[in-house]
Chains A and B, each alone.
Chain A
Amino acid sequence: AQTVTQSQPEMSVQEAETVTLSCTYDTSESDYYLFWYKQPPSRQMILVIRQEAYKQQNATENRFSVNFQKAAKSFSLKISDSQLGDAAMYFCAFPSGYALNFGKGTSLLVTP
């Protein structure tokens, strides 16, 4: 079974600082994608960034980047220049069958 583990239930970062959210996963597949989703309070979940396992280069989307360590099965999300609007639940997700297998999430608090 494919599992996704997020070991940080809560994280806090000051505005303009950088924070890293961790995620580990377990799979026997060699070709796959990994995703980070953001769920703001009372708003719908949106895709933040995705990484293809075959690509050695870490994905980057503006202030969001990943540190993908395939051998270690680690997929962390780095948020640079944190903004108040980044406050949300962040979920790491891995495709399992036709759907996504989500971690338990990390609640990110951004302080002024």
Chain B
Amino acid sequence: DTGVSQNPRHKITKRGQNVTFRCDPISEHNRLYWYRQTLGQGPEFLTYFQNEAQLEKSRLLSDRFSAERPKGSFSTLEIQRTEQGDSAMYLCASSLTADYKNTEAFFGQGTRLTVV
């Protein structure tokens, strides 16, 4: 296994268009996270899946954002009607632990979104 994979690595889109990102976690990991990282900031939590169930969503996840994890495998993050403020690095991470306080999260390289 080569780790967490994210596609595409870069995406440039026009304001108002919809975009979809994909994350393939480490195969045996049942926990999957999406984060957003803007320049000069640390990653900010967006949403969390345990298997196929979306268990937590941040207030940052507006109704233009939707995430899915069908069958508890890969995950997609869709942004509808993109705005310039959506420009950021979108990071996916996965983990496997029964103790969420001791979570070593494995991150992908991220998808950099630029909205023009």
State which of A11-19, A38-46, A59-67, A80-88 sits at the interface with chain B: A38-46
B85 interface hit (Cβ, 8 Å) = no
The total of chain B residues at the interface (CB under 8 A) is: 27
Segment 76-103 of A: residues with Cβ below 8 Å from B:
91, 93, 95-103
Q: Are B41 and A98 in contact (CB under 8 A)?
A: no
- Measured CB to CB, the closest approach of chain B to A84, in angstroms, equals 21
Do most interface residues of chain B lie in helix, strand or loop, or is the interface mixed? mixed
A26 interface hit (Cβ, 8 Å) = no
Contact of A47 among B91, B100, B104 (CB under 8 A): B104
Which A residues lie within 8 Å of B48 (CB)? 97-99
Q: Are B41 and A104 in contact (CB under 8 A)?
A: yes
B3 interface hit (Cβ, 8 Å) = yes
Query: What residue in chain B is nearest A92 (Cβ atoms)?
Result: B42
CA distance A102 to B3 in the complex (A): 21
CA distance A45 to B3 in the complex (A): 12
**Other A-B pairs beyond A46-B107, A99-B56, A102-B42, 18, CB < 8 Å:** A33-B101, A44-B107, A44-B108, A44-B109, A45-B91, A52-B102, A91-B43, A95-B100, A95-B103, A97-B45, A97-B48, A98-B31, A98-B50, A98-B56, A99-B33, A100-B33, A100-B105, A102-B44
